[in-house]
Structure 1
Amino acid sequence: MPPHTYVQGMDNDAPVPALRPSEPPAEIIAAIAARHHRAGRGVMAVVNRLGTSFEDRLQALPEGWRNRLDGATEAALLRAYGLARAGGRVPTIGGRGHVALASISGALGGLGGLPSALAELPVAVTLILHQIQEVADHYGFDPAADPTRRETLQVFGAGSPLADDDGANSAFIGARLTFTGPALNRMIATIAPRLATALGPKLAAQAVPVLGAAAGAGLNAAYMGYYREMAHVRFGLLRLALDHDPLAVQDAFRRAVAPGRIAR
């Protein structure tokens, strides 16, 4: 599939095609909605299996560790985003490869408790972002292009491509932006606390040396699965928006994920 870099709302001056079908294929929208459903179910199932003590563990962490988690998450995003500048196609690792690497990383991070867990965080974030890039490449978007790299960050920061699902996402169909350094810093500053909150259970599970290794491996694998599905949702919809009216794509997806509409 040839690479595409234009979707309304992405940084590209190419014109919108004059004629294109307004309604996206219902079967493709249904498949993307099913991925959206599986994404939340998968990671939440793992967290629930490990118990409801994560919040208590986070509260019991030494003072200042939450701030360190926030800072480490922001630094990890910046580092991972910088690595995404590499030109050419993304080396294909595949879903299983990413999960295997993430599991090993999570296990190593849990061996030494909190210090090793924080040290492992940038590795986990970089692996997740690489996986998101691979999904973007699958849909024909250039992973090294600034608009695509911005969309990879949005996968970290949003529960879905809907503009008002949880306030975490600047709209799926957004205004064109010049992605300058300050704009990047603002985006990462917004996304980092949300990602830190999402990764909080991972840090809490890894807080117990040695025992945290198994939990870290399992949670890393779960996060990889979650963000892989969400990347397929986001870039699948963006790909549809190349050939169909973007607002119609967003509305069709909104209807498909409405309560009671997911059948698989």
Structure 2
Amino acid sequence: MTTLPPSDLAALQTAVTLLETPSLTSKLSNLIGQPLESALNKLPAGTHAKIGELVQTALRKAADAALWSLDTQAQGHASNFLHKAMAATSGAVGGAFGFAALAVELPITTTLMLRSIADIARSEGFDLNQVQTKTACIEVFAFGGPSGKDDATESAYYAGRAFMAEAVQVAGKALADAAAQSGKLGLSGVTAGQTGTWMAKFIEYVASRFGIVITEKVAAQAVPLLGAITGATINTMFMDFYQDTAKGHFIVKRLEAQYGQDLVRTAYSDLMLRR
């Protein structure tokens, strides 16, 4: 059986270290010094639904502002520190003004995180002009939610990948339906509008996961006596988490493109067992 060469195996080990980390939920609980459930229970009625709407809007705006405007010809390493500093500033404003500022702060923070994710994808050799790369950037936000895996030998990352495979199926059906409708109108091929329909459905699926951690973020920032300082700290924590996840994710996808998904997943599992 073919194995990864030492340099790529080392890169995959880096990915495992970055991707198999404590969840954002546990990090938020440690930050506020209490179980997050108690803070969540204190949120006003209807907050969860409102946040769900805001998250979908934020992801759609971020996709337009971040991925379609980023310089695809840039070279060199990703600008992680710059994005982190900007996110901290945005979080400080959101923390100072509370839930009322979320509709303004969330799209800004999400756009900054998505720009950073795309910058990392570019630094790993991915073409940001390709729809597949843009999709892979957006799906990074799905890895912050619960994995449903309690066994330390099971991969939270690949549990998230399984969820995203389902999301692609659902979005693909939306695209097929749009294409079929176009056929009835005598049109051929897949239009930009149909691709937009596919992306909107895909974002809706990702938002269902991203919305969980954003709700937890709001609950943590609502804890008394924390305010703007916590807003900045939490946004920095989020940026750190999604930058690390993006780095690991695009290392895995780069290796999969070179060696195939099965070989990379087997090597990934072997590395997890050695931890």
TM-score (norm: length of structure 1):
0.78
Selected match of 2:56 from 62, 74, 83: 74
- Structure 2: distance between partners of 1:137 and 1:80: 17
- Structure 1: distance between partners of 2:22 and 2:231: 19
In the alignment, which residue of structure 2 is the partner of 1:237?
252
Contact 2:87/2:239 (<8 A) preserved: yes
Deviation digits for residues 3-44 of structure 1, max 9, x if unmatched?
xxxxxxxxxxxxxxxxxx94323322222111223x436873
Alignment of 1:165-244 (within 5 A): 168-170=163-165, 180-207=195-222, 211-244=226-259
Q: Which moved more, 1:246-255 or 1:201-210?
A: 201-210
1:54 positional shift = 3.2
- Structure 1: distance between partners of 2:205 and 2:31: 30
Q: Which has the higher helix share?
A: 2
Selected match of 2:133 from 136, 148, 171: 148
1:242 positional shift = 2.7
Alignment of 1:1-264 (within 5 A): 22-25=2-5, 26-37=9-20, 39-40=21-22, 44-83=26-65, 84-86=67-69, 88-89=71-72, 94-158=79-143, 161-162=157-158, 164=159, 168-170=163-165, 180-207=195-222, 211-258=226-273, 261-262=274-275
- Structure 1: distance between partners of 2:88 and 2:30: 18
The residue type equivalent to 1:254 in the other structure is S
Structure 2 runs not aligned, ≥5 long: 145-155, 176-193
Relative to 1, partners in 2 of residues 1:23 and 1:183: Cα closer, same or farther, differing over 3 Å? Answer: farther
- Structure 2: distance between partners of 1:152 and 1:188: 11
- Structure 1: distance between partners of 2:31 and 2:73: 34
1:51 positional shift = 2.0
- Structure 2: distance between partners of 1:119 and 1:209: 22
- Structure 1: distance between partners of 2:79 and 2:213: 23
Structure 1 runs not aligned, ≥5 long: 1-20
Contact 1:90/1:143 (<8 A) preserved: no
The residue type equivalent to 2:211 in the other structure is A
1:214 positional shift = 0.9
Deviation digits for residues 177-224 of structure 1, max 9, x if unmatched?
678223212211111121011122221233368842111111110111
Contact 2:88/2:232 (<8 A) preserved: yes
1:157 positional shift = 0.9
Relative to 1, partners in 2 of residues 1:104 and 1:47: Cα closer, same or farther, differing over 3 Å? Answer: farther
Relative to 1, partners in 2 of residues 1:166 and 1:48: Cα closer, same or farther, differing over 3 Å? Answer: farther
Contact 2:217/2:234 (<8 A) preserved: yes
Contact 1:109/1:120 (<8 A) preserved: yes
Q: Secondary structure at the match of 1:40?
A: coil
Structure 1 residue runs of 4 or more that deviate by more than 4 Å after TM superposition: 90-93
Percent identity of equivalent pairs: 26
Relative to 1, partners in 2 of residues 1:248 and 1:152: Cα closer, same or farther, differing over 3 Å? Answer: same
TM-score (norm: length of structure 2):
0.75
In the alignment, which residue of structure 2 is the partner of 1:13?
none
The residue type equivalent to 1:250 in the other structure is R
1:165 positional shift = 5.3
